[in-house]
Every structure is written in C-alpha cells, then in structure tokens.
Amino acid sequence: MNQPRRGRGGRARLLFVCIENSNRSQMAEAFARMIGGDRVEAHSAGSRPSGRINPRAVESMREAGYDLSAHRSKPLEEIPSGQYDVVVSMGCGDACPSVPARLREEWDIPDPRNLPPEEFRKVRDTIRAKVEDLLARLAGDG
C-alpha cells in the first residue's frame, strides 16, 4: 500500500467521513486524537450531517475515556481546507465528495445507531482498532 508523506510539521492530517457525522466518524476522530496526540490533526464530517452527536456515541466514548459531548455534527464544507494525508470513508459511498488526499481508505463499518448497547460497543472497539492500525502504519512511514 502506498503510504502518505506527512504534512504540516510532521503531523498527519486525517479526515473521517460518514453520512451523518454523529457516530462512526466522530468516534474515529476522537480515537485519533486520543491515540495520536500531537502527532495528528484529526477531523470528521458528514456528507449529510444530522446536526447532532448521537447520545449513545457520547456515552460509549465516555466509557472509553473521551468526552465527545463538545463535538458537533458538521458538513464537509466546514472542515479545514487543503490536502489531507488520509481520508477515511466510513459508509458514505457515492455521496462522499472528493477531498484532496494522499491516501484514501474505505472502512466497511456498520452504522451502530440502532444497535443494542453491546453491539454498539463492538462497533466502537472496531473503530478504535482500525484507528490504531492506521496510526501505526503512519508512524512506520515517518
């Protein structure tokens, strides 16, 4: 796989996109910030944002040690402009507009919105594992 070069002073610019920007992409952004720290500049957005973060996502991330309540659901038009090192699409399919990126990934992760709590946590943990893998690959590129 082609590895991206790092942008902005060695910090990897990451963007996580899903449809509503209320669950999956928000959790991915949070994990990137938690795990990557000052090595990453993480953002998330939705192709058709819901305008709110799912309270179940807030609770699920609280269990993981992150306060998602300060986040908000936002459209792609509100993300910082410029090229990203990695853009991860999380189920927006054809509705996902093009954002300049050195590397694109599609993560086939189910929308946890209507899942029971234990299944919601499994999706959260899958997202965490995928973010950890992405950051490890980026660290190997530095």
Q: Tell me whether residue 126 is one of the annotated catalytic residues.
A: no
Long-range CB pairs of 101-105 (<8 Å, 24+ gap) are 101/4, 101/15, 102/2, 102/4, 102/5, 103/1, 103/2, 103/3, 103/4, 105/134
CA–CA gap between residue 41 and residue 39 (Å, rounded): 7
Which residue among 28, 96, 103, 138 is the active-site one?
Answer: 96
Check if 95 is active-site.
Answer: no
Catalytic choice (15, 92, 109, 131)? 92
Pick the catalytic residue from 14, 15, 18, 86: 18
Q: b vs e for 5-16, b when ≥16 Cβ sit within 10 Å of the residue's Cβ?
A: ebeeeebbbbbb
Question: Active-site residue 70, yes or no?
Answer: no
Catalytic residues: 18, 92, 96
